Structure 1
Amino acid sequence: MLRQHFPSSALSQLGAAMNTQDPSKFPAPWNYLIPIGNRLLIWILFFLALYLLRDFLGLVFLTFVFAYICEHGVQGLAHRFRSRRLRTLLVFGTLLSALALFATFLAPELKKQGVSFVRELPRHVQTLDGKLSELRSKNPAVNDFLGDRDATDIVEELLGITHESPEDIKAGTRRGADKEQIQSLFGTLFGVFKNLASVAMIFVLAVLFAFLIVTDLPRIAKGIDSLRKTKINFIYDELSSTIVSFGRVLGRFIEAQGMIALINTVLTSIGLMLLGMNSLAFLAGTVFLCSFIPVAGVYLSTAPMCLVALDQSGFGLMAWVLVMVTVVHVLEAYVFNPMIFGAHLHMNPVLVLSVLVIGYQLFGIWGLILGVPAVNYIFGHAIQKPAEAAGAAE
């Protein structure tokens, strides 16, 4: 069959190239099709391995986060202490002390208030239904605006998970799947507080693995680099530079997002204290976790605050909570996001804002999550020449 399409000379060249395993010596079009096929096969196998290990990706991700942040701290202490082992012990000692203080003083209160909120959630929703009924009876315009929607319907729409059409809302029909969806969404969020023991175990394992990696990082790096001298060097050459470059960009992004989450939590906690809100620890913990969820995180963290405020003091306190949350998120979006992302990812604040806006419009939540690190990686590494990319990495 091959002799019908290729002359004997081409077949002999193909056989000689296969013996030398040098794709550049293959006759056209094999000289460029085979390298492309090899690269595709390598990346397919890589993503297949990630899929098979999907149950461990949470632990792997946390290990990467702790290792990246702590390695950053270890390098930052290099000008003060020459011993890498001593610097590693200082950094991880500080991290473990912070985690121990959190587990001792805040974790029990977080769990207590989280479980209490979950138990009282039906009562909070019932209170909201009562307030809505009062508004409907006093103001016909409210009744025209809300229709037959109850508290659960409103929360569903705020979270953007309702599938009801305007005709369904006017007719008063509702789908049971929506209620199951919102219960599952809140259950996943509040389950973190209810199952702090398992979450703490994952954190402990991640810190342990990160400590072992950072402590022996130079030797690990040499061991991985030795793969270039093995028979699978083609896999190393294809994957190593891309994974390292994107990992560095992603690490900077996570570091920046963590700082924003911390600032957001501190400002919101101060606002809640000034308003005299109950369940402060639980609400602050919810804000911190939801700060890592673009767009939807704002609603997820605001909904519990509004329910607690409404049950505690009525619509007046809830209005002040909404004002406070609006101010905090305006500061976050237009001040802290550009400043912190620009400093960590070496991007102009105007470009950061543009990427966030365009990414959300084009790709929704995924555009916000991956837009900034993806653009930084593409322009700073992927399309640069090797020498320029190395300079950008430094």
Structure 2
Amino acid sequence: MDTAWQKFKNNIPLRRFVVLLVIIAFLYEMRAMMNTILLTFIFTYVIVHLIHLVQRYLPKMPTGLIVTIAYLIILALLYFVITIYLPMLVGQISKMVKSVMAFYESNESSRLANYVTRYISRGEIVTQAKRIGTFALHTVTSFGTLTIATFMSLILSFFYTIELDKMRDFSSLFIKSGYFKWLFEDIRYFGKKFTNTFGVVLEAQFFIAICNTALTMIGLAFMHMPQIIALGLMVFILSLVPVAGVIISLIPLSIIGYSVGGIRYVIYIFIMIMIIHAIEAYVLNPKFMASKTELPIFYTFLVLLVAEHFWGTWGLIVGVPIFTFLLDVLGIKSAKKSKKKANK
């Protein structure tokens, strides 16, 4: 038994394959907390790289001071969104609801209702109304869950980064442990590889978000929309979600556009967002992702489609990093070699 166990520990490829399966099984069991896990990883990754960037130019600046300033800026942005942007959005929604109610109480609505019921059965209308209500309830519930996950992720990432050196020292104790030293070494091995590949894709998506925001703000400026800076901030945050983020931004932009210029502005915004979405999907996303990950454009598209099918919106964010990570682990394409080649 001891000999078989020793052979297993010495067989590094087999051992790492088993450890990888254990990690996948663990993440599958923790899928209910996947929003919190991924958001914590993203926030921590961004803040840690911010620390390294600042300390490259200001070596004597303490890590705690950098983290504190960064999170104070995040809190200030959240305060700006809650106190300025959300009331503006709520006001636009209330105006839209009032206009819909006014239309419903007018004679035009009864004519439209008679016209619709002439071609569509009442039962079908009720069924579709129930579906819309279920979707709206699910959207509100998901938004509340995501808000809680974001709040918890900010707290966890703050406590991790504020004591970054202590966290590294404490984590290194697992590598020096006795019986399961090999297990923690393999976990660290996979963690480093995934962090490298995720960072490459996150950098690419950051550039895509900048391009989307610039194009959207130019279009909004031509339409003389109010609060362009606030709307640009919203578009930038949503654009960090590949492909889907631009489409999600269509909802609040349409509501505000309707209050400014009526249905005509809603059509303009819809056309503008579809054009920007096409540019992102067919030009920016494949170009940036392919250049940063050195993947062919066909594979980038294929991975995004498959990942979105299995994991939804999160699949669009982590699909390419996971695929690149698997290529690295399987020895098909090393992430380190790609990085060196990119630096050259």
Q: TM-score, normalised by structure 1?
A: 0.64
Cα offsets for 1:89-110 (capped at 9, x unmatched): 4642542342243144443112
Whole-angstrom distance in 1 between the partners of 2:215 and 2:69: 24
Gaps of 5+ in 1: 1-17, 26-30, 138-142, 150-165
Tell me the equivalent position of 1:20: 3
Tell me the equivalent position of 2:220: 272
- Compare relative contact order (CA 8 Å, sep 6+) and give the higher one, 1 or 2: 2
The percent identity for this pair of structures is 20
The equivalences for 1:198-347 within 5 A come to: 201-202=151-152, 204-216=154-166, 218-227=168-177, 230-277=178-225, 283-284=231-232, 286-342=234-290, 345-347=292-294
Structure having the higher Rg: 1
Cα–Cα, structure 1 residues 362 and 186, in superposed 2: closer, same or farther, change >3 Å? closer
Cα–Cα, structure 1 residues 67 and 290, in superposed 2: closer, same or farther, change >3 Å? closer
Matched-pair contact (CA < 8 Å) for 2:197–2:335: no
**How far did 1:176 drift?**
4.4
Tell me the equivalent position of 2:49: 72
Tell me the equivalent position of 2:127: 174
Matched-pair contact (CA < 8 Å) for 1:310–1:318: yes
Matched-pair contact (CA < 8 Å) for 2:89–2:252: no
**How far did 1:346 drift?**
3.7
Cα offsets for 1:334-369 (capped at 9, x unmatched): 4543454356x4425xx2x32343235555454644
**How far did 1:226 drift?**
1.8
Matched-pair contact (CA < 8 Å) for 1:347–1:376: no
Matched-pair contact (CA < 8 Å) for 2:241–2:316: no
Tell me the equivalent position of 1:183: 136
Tell me the equivalent position of 1:383: 330
State yes or no: 1:102 paired with 2:50. no
Cα offsets for 1:311-338 (capped at 9, x unmatched): 4323322222123223433443345434
**How far did 1:148 drift?**
3.6
Aligned residues: 330
Matched-pair contact (CA < 8 Å) for 1:268–1:284: yes
User: Which residue identity lines up with residue 20 of structure 1 in the other structure?
Assistant: T
Cα–Cα, structure 1 residues 23 and 105, in superposed 2: closer, same or farther, change >3 Å? closer
* Range that drifts further, 260-269 or 59-68: 260-269
Cα–Cα, structure 1 residues 37 and 93, in superposed 2: closer, same or farther, change >3 Å? closer
Tell me the equivalent position of 1:152: none
Whole-angstrom distance in 2 between the partners of 1:248 and 1:48: 22
Q: TM-score, normalised by structure 2?
A: 0.71
Whole-angstrom distance in 2 between the partners of 1:87 and 1:339: 38
Gaps of 5+ in 2: none
